[in-house]
A and B are shown apart, each in its own frame.
Chain A
Amino acid sequence: MKKTLLVFISLTPLLYLVYSVQNANDPIKYIYTFTGLSSMGFLFASLCISPLKKIYNLMVYRKTLGLFALFYAFLHFANFFVLDAQFDISFVLKETLDKPFIYLGMVAFLIFVFMGFTSTKKLFAKYNKWHKLVYIALILVVIHENMAQKVMGILEYFFIAFAIVLVGYRIYFQKSKILHF
């Protein structure tokens, strides 16, 4: 029941996007920014769950939050493929191989997709070790968001600090596990 509520809440950014994009001066850019930041929001939220486990156990919601990070990342990618590249596959490939800004985002997206596919009970049991890749995705996403700006602002410093805390926590408390995975 609460999970259904979470799904509805998680869809509100999309509803707002559909409404607000009609007044956007630069719609393609607006969709990039909106879906990108939404995806990052869900990613950060999902990564906060396990460090906070002892204080407040929300583990049942972690997967839903993670899947929404994937969902908004997919819309972000779809914006690139459909509106920006206008289905030009060779353009997408060339840009992805050529430009660090784009391949960093693309690698992060592939990690998300992998995690999404292996998030069923059966596959998660087999692949959950590999889900630590999310921390690589986190670092790539933070760099990617930074590169989307002409100059760094408050939000960029915030994301970097937040990512350092999350990755630092993982390494500090699970040193042995991470080294052996």
Chain B
Amino acid sequence: MYILRKPTWQLSENEVTDETLFHKRREFLKLGAAALVSSSVVVEKLSAMETTPRTPLSFVKTSYGEGLELNSFEQASTYNNFYEFSTSKEKPAKMAHTLITSPWDVGFYGECENSTILGVEDILKQVALEERIYRFRCVEGWSMVVPWIGFPLKKFLDIAKPNAKAKYVAFKTKYDPQMFPDQSRGLMFGAIPYPYVEGLRMDEALNELAFVAIGMYGKELPKQNGAPLRLIVPWKYGFKSIKSIDYVEFTIKEPKNTWQVVNPVEYGFYANVNPTVDHPRWSQAKERKLGSFLKTKTLMFNGYEKEVAYMYKDMDLKRYF
């Protein structure tokens, strides 16, 4: 007798899932997945998203930082030291909307031929934008890798034509208590004295690595990262990379930078990244890259020894920390 053998894949009509049921099942699975990602996570992700849309920039890519693994935009824009808003690192991202970045003037003063005040848009007409990927190492022990967009600091300073007497250049963050809540608390109750001051020796400022950033991750800087323009000095601890600059002064004497004023035992003028010179309270030998549970070795001059070490070859780096 011939036995009809059905192949295993051949199902009878009554076993077929109804099309509407098929779609419902998909919907149901999606619902379940969404419910698993708890609502608080969703809220967190949403609040971390850009509150004000950032304008995309046109720039050329460079070879700086090729091969480095980038941190995410979210990490770099939600972990900020910006004491003008708060000493918390998460709060500036939520508070920085009070910073009004346009119009924004930058004044050049002191030992220069062309002392002037310029709007950011006028400065941008005189420079070409490029992207540089740099390591960023905070004195507190954490670090990140960020693609900055901007132009060499030298191009920025050339606008004012510093004269031969200029040995140092000082920068200040804008002082406006209406925009920066901690500035309105005054010297008594503010976290640190304002305006925030930083400075560089002229040869440091003219070094090819010293950079003015106006953007990151392809678009203009988020406010909490120091919009509209900030310094990036990759071989020095992060506090040297002053944010939201509106004042530049060429000086004969070494400027007193804010952290040196606040705590001269722990913070100096140079603040070069140096794994062999510890902070009095913690070791600087290793660093915590944002998002990682493991530590990595900190490199001399943050990995930029080749480009910058010559400037410090006769200096005792333990003394000039």
CB under 8 Å from chain B, chain A span 6-48? 23, 25-29
Q: Which of B114-122, B125-133, B247-255, B287-295 interfaces with chain A?
A: B287-295
If A23-B44, A26-B142, A26-B288 touch, does A147 touch B281 (CB 8 Å cutoff)?
yes
Contact A25 B262 (CB under 8 A): no
Q: Is the CB of B294 within 8 A of A25?
A: no
Whether A25 and B290, one on each chain, are in contact in the complex, defined by CB atoms closer than 8 angstroms, is: yes
B282 contacts the other chain (CB 8 A):
yes
**Most-contacted residue by chain A among B263, B283, B290, B291 (CB, 10 A):** B283
Within residues 70 to 92 of chain B, which ones have a CB less than 8 A from any CB in chain A? 75, 78-79, 83, 87, 89
A-B contacts at CB below 8 angstroms, number: 57
Bound CA span A83–B290, Å: 14
- State whether A153 and B87 are in contact (beta carbons under 8 Å apart), knowing that A25-B75, A29-B142, A101-B282 are contacts in the complex: yes
Contact B262 A151 (CB under 8 A): yes
Determine whether the beta carbon of A28 is less than 8 Å from that of B262.
no
Chain A residues whose C-beta falls within 8 Å of the C-beta of B280 in the assembled complex: 99, 101
A25:B79 contact, CB within 8 angstroms: yes
Partner of A95, one of B141, B192, B283, B292: B283
A150 at the interface (CB under 8 A from B): yes
Instruction: Tell me if B191 is interfacial: C-beta within 8 Å of chain A.
Output: yes
| Alpha-carbon gap, A153 to B281, bound state (A) | 18
A95-B283, A151-B191, A151-B262 known; A28 and B293 CB under 8 Å?
yes
- The prevalent SS among residues of A at the interface is helix
Give CA–CA (A49, B316) in the complex, Å: 54
Q: How many residues of A contact B (CB 8 A)?
A: 21
Task: Determine the chain B residues whose CB is within 8 A of the CB of A84 once the complex forms.
Answer: 295
Asked whether, in the complex, the Cβ of B282 is within 8 Å of the Cβ of A26, the reply is no
Bound-complex Cα distance A100 to B142 (A): 21
Shortest Cβ gap from B179 to chain A (Å):
21
In the assembled complex, which residues on chain A have CB atoms less than 8 Å from the CB atom of B105? none
When distances are taken between beta carbons in the complex, the residues of chain B under 8 Å from A91 are 283
Which of A23, A83, A99, A153 interacts with B293 by CB under 8 Å?
A83
- Give the contact-size bracket for chain B: 20 to 34
**Nearest Cβ on chain A to B76's Cβ, whole angstroms:** 9
How far is the CB of B230 from the nearest CB of chain A, in Å? 19
- B141: chain A residues within 8 A (beta carbon): 29
Q: Is A86 part of the contact surface with B, judged by Cβ < 8 Å? A: yes
CA distance A25 to B44 in the complex (A): 13
- Specify which chain B residues have a CB less than 8 angstroms from the CB of A147 in the assembled complex: 281
Contact across chains for B87 and A26 when beta carbons are under 8 A apart: no
A25-B78, A101-B282 in contact; A151/B292 too (CB < 8 A)?
Answer: no
Measured in the bound complex, the distance between the Cα atoms of B192 and A153 in whole Å is 11
Closest to B41 in A: A23
Considering the complex, give the chain B residue whose CB is closest to the CB of A153.
B87
Interface hits, A123-157 → B, CB 8 Å = 147, 149-151, 153
Contact across chains for B291 and A25 when beta carbons are under 8 A apart: yes
Chain A residues within an 8 Å CB radius of B291: 25, 27
Assess whether A151 is in contact with B281, with CB atoms less than 8 Å apart: no
Which of B79, B191, B282, B290 has the most CB atoms of chain A within a 10 A radius of its CB?
B282
A171 to B288, CA, bound (A): 43
CB-CB under 8 A from B83, the residues of chain A are 151
Q: How far is the CA of A150 from the CA of B75 in the complex (A)?
A: 21
Q: In whole angstroms, what is the CA distance A153 to B278 when docked?
A: 25
Set of chain B residues within 8 Å of A149, measured between Cβ atoms: 87
List the A side residues contacting B89 at CB < 8 Å.
25-26
B44, B278, B292, B293: most-surrounded residue (chain A CB, <10 A): B293
Known A-B contacts A25-B78, A25-B290; the reply to A151 vs B192 at CB < 8 A is yes
Query: B87 to A150, Cβ gap below 8 A?
Result: yes
CB-CB under 8 A for A86 and B290, given A25-B78, A25-B79:
no
18 A–B contacts, CB within 8 A, in A order: A25-B78, A25-B79, A25-B89, A27-B288, A27-B291, A28-B288, A28-B293, A29-B140, A29-B288, A83-B293, A83-B294, A95-B282, A95-B283, A99-B280, A101-B280, A150-B87, A151-B83, A153-B87
Instruction: Give the 5 A-B residue pairs with the shortest CB-CB distance, closest first.
Output: A25-B79, A101-B281, A26-B142, A151-B191, A25-B290
8 further A-B contacts with Cβ under 8 Å, apart from A25-B78, A151-B262, are: A26-B290, A83-B293, A83-B294, A83-B295, A84-B295, A101-B281, A153-B87, A153-B191
